[in-house]
Amino acid sequence: MTRLASLGEFEQVVLLAILRLGESAYGVTIRSEIAACTRREPAPGALYTTLDRMEEKGIVRSWLGDATPQRGGRAKRYFALTREGRAALIKSQAAYQSLLKGLDLLGGVHA
């Protein structure tokens, strides 16, 4: 049995954005999805180093896609979660959920 990687907060945000985007997850779309959902635009350096680190850990995989003229003929790098990445994300989110259990943060006594 392999040990699941522990995920930081930003790693989880990036993984959730990739999941939401599905087949069209690459640098630009991941960044705008995070900005739209969290109202915080991630620094480009932070995003790319996080993606590289997660790829090295085997949490995400990437492949090169099509190049467009507006990108100066440079290929897009698409991302998707690996099985290990999905399992690590589920584990992290389950931990959040169990911490939230009993707390009614959205409009309850703890709001």
Partner 1 sequence: MLSPSIGEWMVSRFTGEKRAASIVGDLLELKPRKGSLWFWLSLARVVMAVAWRRPLAFIAAFMFGAWACSGLQSTESMGINAMLSHQFPWMNLFWTFFYMLWFVLVYTAIRYGLRDRVTQLALALTIPTSALIFYWQKPAIVIACLALGGCVVVASILSHKRRRAALVLFVVAAAGFGGGLPAMRLADQYLNFIVPMPRRVEGMQGQIQAHPSVSWVYLVMIFATVWTMTAACSCMHKWLMRNDSLDSKTGSKSAS
Which residues contribute to the site for partner 1 (CB under 8 A)?
26-28, 31, 43-46, 48-49, 52, 55-56, 61-68, 70-72, 74-78, 80
CB of 11 to partner 1, least distance (A): 15
Query: Are the CB atoms for 5 and 60 separated by under 8 Å?
Result: no
**Which is it for the CA torsion 4, 35, 42, 74, positive or negative?**
positive
- Residue number with CB closer to partner 1 (9 or 56): 56
- Residue number with CB closer to partner 1 (46 or 94): 46
Helices 83-100 and 9-21 cross at an angle (nearest 10°) of 120
CB of 96 to partner 1, least distance (A): 25
